[in-house]
Amino acid sequence: MRAVAQALGDVRFDALVRRDAPEGSLDHVSLCHDSHYIDELRHIAPSNGLVYLDGDTSMSPGTWEAVMRGVGGAVAATDAVMKGEHTNAFVATRPPGHHAESNKPMGFCFFDQAAIAARYAQRTYGIGRVAVVDFDVHHGNGTQEIFWADKSVMYCSTHQMPLFPGTGASQERGEHGTVVNAPLRDGDGGVKFRSAFDNLILPQLQTFAPELIIISAGFDAHRRDPLASLELDAADFGWVTQKLLDLADRSAGGRVVSVLEGGYDLQGLQESVAAHVTALMGKQSPA
C-alpha cells in the first residue's frame, strides 16, 4: 500500500479526489457471503499474534479492520459512481478479495469486495446487468463461484493456467453462459493478453451490455512479479483499462469501479497502477 501511495503521489496525479475508505457493514458483506462464515471469521480474528486459516491466508489483529475497509471502500466508490459524483473510481485497498468464496477464505482473501460492489449496485440502484472483469494473474474462483448461477452478472477473467487456484478453464461457463474465462500460458505476454480481450472477452461484454463495470485490478501478471510468469508490462494494463472505459461509455454511462487485487513486485505494481489510473483519469478524475 505504501508503494501504491508513492506511485499516486506523483504530481501528475494531483487532480485525484482522495478519500479514506470507510469501514463497510456486515449487511454489505452478507450480499455475497454466508452468515455462518461471516460470524466464524469474526470469531477467529485474533487480538494478538497470527491465526492461519490455510497455507496462504492468515489473520493478524489488524486484518478485520483492513478487510472491512476494503469492503467499505468498494461500496463508497460504487455510491460515488452511481450517484454521478465521479464517472469512475479506483479502490486502493488490501487484502485482495477475488479468491474468497461465499463461505471460504482463500489465497490472501477474506471477503470478495468486487463481487460485493456488483451486488450492492444491483440492490441499491436497481442495476440490471453488471460485469466483473478480472485481469489478475490468478483466476478469481471466488467471484466465479458467487455468480456462477446468476445471469445478471457476467464474470470475465484472463489469468495464467495452470496456476493457483486451479480453476478458470475456458469450458467453465456458468449456468447461463455468463462466465468467460480466457486462460493464458506460462510466458504469454501483451500480444496474447490483448488478443484474449479483443477476440473473446470484449465481444461478449459488448453483447451483454453491462450497466456498470467492476474491475478486479490485479497487477501480478506484470513481467516482474514473483508469483507467476506472464510477461505483461504497464502499457498492457493501460491498454485494457482504456478498452473497458470505451465499452463502459457505450452501455454503462461510463461507470467503472476498479478494485485493487494482486501485484507483489513493488516496482511493477507502481508502474501498473500509474498506467491504470492514468487511463481512468482520461475520462474523469477518479475518487
Vertex 134 angle, CA 98 and 225, to 5°: 85
The Cα–Cα gap between 217 and 257 comes to: 10
Choice among 86, 98, 99, 222 that is catalytic = 99
Reading the block at residue 148, the C-alpha cell is 456462477
Q: Residue 260: beta bridge partners?
A: 217
Reading the block at residue 82, the C-alpha cell is 452511481
The Cα–Cα gap between 118 and 11 comes to: 32
The Cα–Cα gap between 154 and 170 comes to: 14
* Annotated catalytic residue 33: no
The Cα–Cα gap between 177 and 171 comes to: 10
Q: Which residues are catalytic?
A: 99
